[in-house]
Structure formats: C-alpha cells, structure tokens
C-alpha cells in the first residue's frame, strides 16, 4: 500500500479501508442481483452452501499468515530500537572509567549519532528509502576513538573492551532496524487476500440471491470482518510510519545523560 494511506491517522485509514471494501461489496451485490433478475437466479441457487466453509477457511488463513508477518516485523523493529538504545547507554556507563577528554568526545559522538538517526534516518525509514549504503559515521568514529585508546590500567582495559562490544551491538541493532524498515506486505499478498475475500462475498451473494435482505446482511457482516482485518494489518504493515509507528523515543531518552556529561 502507498505511503499516503500509511501516513493517515487510524481513523482516516479506517474510513478509506471500510469505504473501499463496502464499495466493492455493494458492486458485487448489484451485479449479482441484476443477473438474478435477468433469469440467472435458478443457476445461482444451485451453488452449494458448503463451498462457503472452505473459502472462509482459506480467507482466514491468508489473513493469519499476513498478520503473522506484520506482528513479527513490528516486534523485531521494537527490539532493534530498544537494543540500540541499551547498547548506547552501556557505552555511557563504561565510558565513566575513561579519561575526561576522551569521555567527552565519546558523548559528543553518541549525541551526533542519535541526532542523525532521529532527524535523517527515521524519515527515510518511514519512506522505506533507508539503506545500509551509508555508514553511521559517528559510531564509526566512536569505535576508532575507543580502539585508539592506550589503557593505563585494568579498569580502562575492561572499559575499552566493553565499549567496543557495546558499539558493535549498537551498529548491529541499527542494521536490523534499517532492514526491517524495508519490509512490508507486498502487492501479491494483498491481491491474493482481497481476491479471496471477494470470492467469499460473491458466493454469499449467489447463495442468498433470492433474498435481498439476507444477501445484504450476510455480505455486510463478512465485509465488516474483512475490513477490520485489513485495517489492523495496514495500520501495522510499515513499522516506522503512521500513527502507530515505532519512534526513536528510547534513543531520545539517552540525550539528557549525554548533554549532562
């Protein structure tokens, strides 16, 4: 789905999704009733109601498999952001054993990395244009600065080792969140899910074509269920865009400590 839909608030997205699905259901209803009035009612009633059960199960499986991907991507994205923030916090803690000038330079580099992530990378991740081609210069400089340290005691040796490990974890977490930002439910999955739902709506209309009220009620209930499922998937489809997007709050929580340092 396009960026404009994902950028809408949940209420706006609900209006679009419900409106389109109800419109498609109404179109199916009108077409089936027109053919029924034209003499196809007998053929429509010959369609076995038993076909609804396997079609409904298939539609449910499409929704479940699609939703599973979306939940997994969101969980992984949240873990990556929290992991990156935890790793940067660990750098601050271990840097307390380093010389004051080196500690101040590390704090400045971490501050720059967070500002760059919030101001540049997050908007790019929201658009799905963030890539691994650009390396995080601030973290790379922090790694080089730490490795260039000549420890003067066991405490600084341990701190240097821990800081390097924490920076590696932060770099890996950043890679993960950028890769996840490129993940979404592709057009093939959306097409299959919606086509399967349309098949169920069509069968409902065919089976109940002799009763307009029964057809409208059955199609309305199923269309509502499909719309709710599509809305839920679409709202979480892109982890870093929209009202329910994962934000850089964990990273921003580190900023006061860096500024104080």
What distance in Å separates the CA atoms of residue 12 and residue 6, rounded to the nearest whole number?
A: 10
Beta-carbon count within 10 A of 211 CB: 11
CA atoms within 13 Å, Cβ hemisphere of 161: 5
- CA 48 to chain CA centroid, Å, is 40
Alpha-carbon dihedral sign for residues 2, 69, 204, 217: negative
Are the C-beta atoms of residues 245 and 83 closer than 8 Å to each other? no
Residue among 63, 51, 53, 32 nearest 214 (CA): 32
Cα–Cα distance, 222 to 200 (Å, whole number): 8
Q: How far apart are CA 241 and CA 211, in angstroms?
A: 44
> Whole-angstrom Cα distance, residue 17 to residue 31?
21
Each of the 261 residues of the chain gets a pLDDT tens digit; together they read 577 888 889 999 999 999 999 999 999 999 999 888 887 878 877 878 888 889 999 999 999 999 999 999 999 999 999 999 999 999 999 988 888 889 999 999 999 999 999 999 999 999 988 888 888 899 999 999 998 888 788 888 898 999 999 999 999 999 999 999 998 898 899 999 999 999 999 999 998 888 888 889 999 999 999 999 999 999 999 999 988 999 999 999 998 877 665
pTM of this prediction?
0.86
Residue 126 tokens read as 């929201």
Q: How many CB atoms lie within 10 A of CB 52?
A: 17
Residue pair 149/98 in contact (Cβ under 8 Å)? The answer is: yes
Residues 66 and 162: their CA atoms lie apart, in Å, by 40
């Amino acid at each position: 789905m396009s960026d404009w839909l994902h950028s809408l608030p949940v209420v706006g997205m609900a209006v679009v999704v419900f409106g389109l699905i109800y419109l498609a259901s109404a179109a199916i209803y009108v077409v089936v009733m027109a053919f029924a009035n034209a003499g196809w009612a007998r053929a429509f009633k010959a369609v076995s109601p038993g076909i609804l059960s396997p079609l409904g199960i298939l539609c449910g499986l499409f929704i479940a498999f699609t939703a599973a991907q979306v939940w997994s991507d969101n969980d992984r994205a949240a873990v990556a952001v929290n992991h990156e923030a935890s790793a940067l916090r660990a750098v601050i803690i271990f840097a307390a054993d380093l010389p004051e000038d080196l500690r101040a330079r590390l704090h400045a580099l971490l501050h720059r990395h967070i500002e760059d992530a919030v101001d540049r990378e997050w908007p790019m991740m929201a658009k799905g244009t963030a890539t691994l081609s650009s390396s995080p210069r601030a973290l790379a400089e922090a790694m080089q600065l730490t490795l260039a340290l000549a420890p003067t005691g066991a405490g600084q040796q341990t701190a240097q080792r821990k800081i390097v490990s924490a920076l590696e974890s932060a770099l890996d977490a950043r890679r993960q969140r950028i890769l996840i930002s490129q993940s979404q439910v592709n057009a093939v999955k959306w097409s299959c899910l919606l086509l399967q739902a349309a098949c169920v709506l069509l069968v409902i209309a065919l089976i109940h074509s002799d009763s307009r009220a029964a057809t409208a009620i059955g199609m309305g209930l199923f269309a509502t269920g499909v719309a709710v499922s599509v809305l839920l998937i679409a709202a979480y489809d892109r982890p870093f865009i929209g009202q329910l997007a994962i934000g850089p709050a964990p990273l921003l929580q580190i900023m006061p400590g860096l500024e104080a340092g």
